[in-house]
């Protein structure tokens, strides 16, 4: 179920909001993957930062897609230019 929500948000470029370790996170989701421990994770840019972060699925709760907020991915190509 979580995967479907994230896949739709990624394809439509919609921000999502969820609880992660009891912290409220607003995220621009970029892609889903599996980390080196075999756990499903999502990568994205946290609102109001330029850093891409990883979040583990098993720590994510209360997911909400924010339909009115769309985004364009920021993909850092070279650190010098960004």
CA 34, CA 57: separation in Å to the nearest integer?
10
Tokens representing 32 are 């889903």
pLDDT by residue (tens digit) across 4-53?
999 998 888 899 999 999 999 999 898 899 999 999 999 998 987 888 89
Of the given ranges (1-5, 41-45, 59-63, 71-75), which has the lowest mean pLDDT? 71-75
Q: How many angstroms from the chain centroid is the CA of residue 30?
A: 6
Task: Report the alpha-carbon distance of residue 52 to residue 55 in Å, rounded.
Answer: 10
What pLDDT does residue 48 have?
75
**Rounded Cα distance, 19 and 9, in Å:** 16
Which has more confidence, 20 or 69? 20
pLDDT score of 23? 93
**Which residue segments constitute the domains of the chain, with CATH numbers given?**
2-70 (2.40.50)
Q: What is the largest CA-CA distance in the chain?
A: 39
């Amino acid at each position: 179920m979580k995967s479907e929500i994230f896949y739709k948000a990624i394809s439509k470029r919609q921000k999502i909001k969820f609880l992660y370790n009891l912290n409220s996170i607003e995220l621009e989701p970029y892609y889903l993957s599996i980390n080196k421990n075999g756990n499903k994770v999502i990568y994205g840019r946290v609102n109001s930062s330029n850093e891409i972060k990883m979040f583990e699925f098993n720590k994510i709760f209360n997911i909400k897609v924010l339909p009115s907020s769309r985004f364009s991915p920021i993909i850092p190509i070279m650190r010098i230019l960004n």
